[in-house]
Chain A
Amino acid sequence: MTIHRRLLSGVAPRILWMLMGLLALLIAAPYFIDKYALSVLILILYFAYVGQAWNIMMGFAGELSLGHALYAGLGGYVAAGLFTHYGLGPWAGVFAAAAAAALAGAIVGYLGFRFSLAGVYFALLTIAFGEFTRIAFDHLDWFGGSAGLFLKVDVAPNPFDLRGGPVLFYYVILALAAAAFVLSRLLLESRLGRYWLAIREDAEAAQAVGVPVLRYKLMAVMISAALTSLAGVWNAFYYNNLFPETAFGIGRSIEITLAPIIGGLGTLFGPIVGAVVLTGMGEAFTSLGDTLGIPGIKQIFYGLALLIIVMYRPAGIWPWLSERLGLGERPR
């Protein structure tokens, strides 16, 4: 089946039109929204993208990673380090970043899958790798150690070095999010995607019918890690500073997982819907906290809202919404 067919097979024209309309709206957005709204939109797209990357591993292949900040952090540090020390631009550095993250993913995955670590035990392994990488980076002077790695800030637009204002970063993250969506769709419709779904549902049964489980699980981790590292590169050049505590922190890993879990695991639109809901809700509660002058109120309401969503929509918002709208995407 050609890529074109694989991408569009079974998609109703109205959905295609809706998606194209949404993309057109997003492309035009910087021209009619203010800078604050743009910064919120950037966050939505960032979380949609990293959620999509994480979803490949958890939603498609069924392997729970709670240490995905490892790959984002590695990607950011590698590209930022090469840029700072050798002047190598991020468009080239991104290959080194993706390779480093994929290698880290392969090591984590091999150790976990070779020794049959599954479920929470595998999740603990991913946390452990994230944590000791954080501690290692605290002591790596080439990457600035615990004092942080700072990129030279230049507000003059230079897309070749990913230097410039928020509009440039908006279009880059929009392109990444759109590409991740398309890639996820292609993967899901491929033989690889079918193998992942089989492994997720019952790895032993998949093995029994000849699916090379270890190889395909490793591929899921490596693809997911490489994609996540691109978000790390974007993040490093957008914020222009990296600290091990924030880049590899467990909090960052949890943030990555929330959008697909709330939106709908294993679905294509889940990470996007989750990112919209969570970022929108986060902003609303932040404003509420600022208005009421009660610090921390956001976290209370945010936690409560998440609890309610998980209780009443355990499969995520998107499966429920798509059923209501008659769009038909179910968790795979």
Chain B
Amino acid sequence: MIDRSRFTRRQFGQAALAGATVLGAPLPLRYAQAQSAPANLKVALLLPTSGVQAQIGQACKRGADVANAVFADMKMPVKLDIANYDTETKPDVARTQAEKAIEAGAHVLVGAFDSGQTIAIAQVAEQRGVPFVVNIAAAPQITEQGYKFVVRNFPTAPMLISGAFELHKEIFKASGVTPKTAVLMSINDTFGTAMMGGIKAMFPKLDMPYQLVDTISYDPAAKDLSVEVAKAKATKADMLMPVCRLNDAKLLIQELVKQRWEPMAVMNPGSPGLYEQDFLKTMGKYGEFHISNVPWLDPKSTMTQSLEKQHAAKFAGDQLDLNGGFTFEALLIAAQAWLDAKSTKPDALMDALRKIKIDHHVMVGGPIQFDAKGQNVGIKAAAVQNLKRKPTVVMPKASAAAELVFPEPGWNDKRRT
């Protein structure tokens, strides 16, 4: 008697064949797609749009989503075919997605916000000989490996820190007020620990006009920063420098208000948190006048104005920030390289990338061009002050969209509305 609850081996073989056919059916199509002569440059955008870094990955993606509209607005004769690949905030997925993108015929890879994921993609790009434009990733090692197919349009961690501290000096000079002491508070996560280490190492060499009287770190999961803020207040420091993220930035400012501590300034040395949309919405008038020293969009650039217009039209509820700006610029670089190379061949594109010089772009700083290692060394930090619920460039002067307010007004000052 036949036992119908069992597969026979023949049935198993048939089922396996059917499964393989279903799974393999798209392969010829994928191959044909990859082989067909493309009308446009195919760009694979690899970002962490899900997982721990999803919020930032999606902010990056929004900058890319309006890229073609901005190119058209700026009368650039270029249109990119942008394919999105989610890295899920994991280096192993980033690597597999990069392989998939190249098999699907991508001419240029762009990504990936995070250093670990970026390095995983960089290896694939190098092995397969496909140009890779890094939008955001600060680990210096990315451009120290001797890669031939990788360029980065983002400052390294030391560049971020030194750029931020140089701006401090400019701010003091412009305002005529110099704090004598400062206290550094930092979140104790990967980013915060790296920043604290970098600041401690670089601070003595930067010849800053103030003394760093204390460094206080706190847990990323902290629900209350009353003790840490009380400790910082007790130092009587003139200035508070927080290395923070979104949630702890909110806790920090709430506690400053509660404890009636009014330092001359809350000015971060190159970290997120204070300029973020959610921070500005939640903190209201107490979120005003704080300064972030970070790379930012140049409001004086017509391309930035176009990007802001297109972004506002497509994503009315979302703020355009440095994540969207740098991702847009990465696509701008790919587009310009294609225009210069007049080819989608990797070597021609890479040659064009090495010689590229883009004067007209969106972020604060000099022309986009890469040194021998593939690093854009012309990126400058900007002092971004929260004014009227909007992060506004106040330094450098050439890019300023509003006057600097320094020292910042007290918590009950009428200028806080």
Which A residues have a C-beta under 8 Å from some C-beta of B?
A: 34-36, 38-40, 43, 138-139, 141, 145-148, 150, 152-153, 155, 165-166, 239-241, 243-246, 283, 286-287, 289-290, 293, 295-296, 298-299, 323-326
Contact = CB atoms under 8 A, between A and B. Distances in A.
Nearest to B47: A295
Interface stretch (B119-127, B174-182, B263-271, B359-367): B119-127
Contacts of B214: none
Given A296-B54, A299-B50, 18 more contacts: A35-B99, A36-B103, A38-B99, A139-B193, A145-B193, A146-B189, A147-B157, A148-B116, A148-B139, A153-B126, A153-B146, A239-B123, A241-B119, A241-B139, A246-B116, A287-B100, A298-B86, A324-B12
A139 B189 CA distance: 11
15 contacts: A35-B102, A39-B99, A40-B96, A146-B189, A146-B191, A147-B139, A147-B157, A150-B141, A155-B126, A239-B91, A241-B120, A244-B190, A246-B90, A286-B97, A325-B12
Given A153-B147, A155-B127, A325-B9, A146 B190 contact: yes
Contact of B95 (A146, A148, A239, A293): A239
A138 B190 contact: yes
Interface of B: 5-7, 9, 12, 49-50, 54, 57-58, 83-86, 88, 90-93, 95-97, 99-100, 102-103, 115-116, 119-120, 122-123, 126-128, 139, 141, 145-147, 157, 189-191, 193-194, 197
A43 B197 CA distance: 35
A225 to B, nearest CB: 21
A165 B103 CA distance: 16
Contact of B7 (A150, A240, A324): A324
Q: Which 8 A-B pairs have the closest CB atoms?
A: A295-B49, A296-B50, A146-B193, A150-B141, A36-B99, A146-B190, A147-B194, A36-B103
Contacts of B54: 295-296
A282 to B, nearest CB: 8
A153 B123 contact: yes
Contacts of A146: 189-191, 193-194, 197
Considering residues B58, B92, B191, B194, which has the most beta carbons from chain A within 10 angstroms of its beta carbon?
B92
Contacts of B95: 39, 239
Contacts of A293: 84
A38 B141 CA distance: 27
B50 A35 contact: no
Contacts of A239: 91-92, 95, 116, 119-120, 123
Contact of B139 (A43, A150, A298): A150
Summarize B's interface: helix, strand, loop or mixed.
Answer: helix
Contacts of B194: 145-147
B30 to A, nearest CB: 9
B10 to A, nearest CB: 11
A298 B97 CA distance: 14
Contacts of A166: 127
Contact of B50 (A243, A295, A324): A295
B64 to A, nearest CB: 12
Considering residues A155, A166, A241, which has the most beta carbons from chain B within 10 angstroms of its beta carbon?
A241
A199 B93 CA distance: 38
Nearest to B120: A239
Nearest to B157: A147
Contacts of B57: 295
Nearest to A167: B127
Contacts of A147: 139, 157, 190, 193-194, 197
Contacts of B116: 148, 239, 241, 243, 246
Given A146-B190, A166-B127, A39 B86 contact: no
Contacts of B145: 150, 152-153
Considering residues A38, A139, A295, which has the most beta carbons from chain B within 10 angstroms of its beta carbon?
A295
Nearest to B101: A36
A36 B9 contact: no
Contact of A43 (B86, B96, B123, B146): B96
A324 B92 CA distance: 34
A289 B119 CA distance: 23
Contacts of B91: 239, 241, 246
B198 to A, nearest CB: 8
A330 to B, nearest CB: 15
A296 B96 contact: no
A76 to B, nearest CB: 12
B86 A289 contact: yes
A240 B190 contact: no
Given A35-B99, A239-B95, A286 B119 contact: no
B224 to A, nearest CB: 20
Contact of A150 (B58, B85, B119): B119
A275 to B, nearest CB: 13
A287 B197 CA distance: 40
B46 to A, nearest CB: 10
A324 B6 contact: yes
Contacts of A295: 49-50, 54, 57-58, 86
Contact of A290 (B86, B122, B147): B86
A297 to B, nearest CB: 8
B49 A296 contact: yes
A325 B7 CA distance: 6
B324 to A, nearest CB: 15
Contacts of B120: 239, 241
A34 B119 CA distance: 21
A43 B120 CA distance: 14
A290 B58 contact: no
B27 to A, nearest CB: 8
B123 A298 contact: no
B85 A290 contact: yes
A137 B103 CA distance: 37
A246 B116 CA distance: 9
B119 A165 contact: no
Considering residues B83, B95, B96, which has the most beta carbons from chain A within 10 angstroms of its beta carbon?
B96
A199 B122 CA distance: 48
A299 B120 CA distance: 22
Contacts of A245: 189-190
A35 B83 CA distance: 19
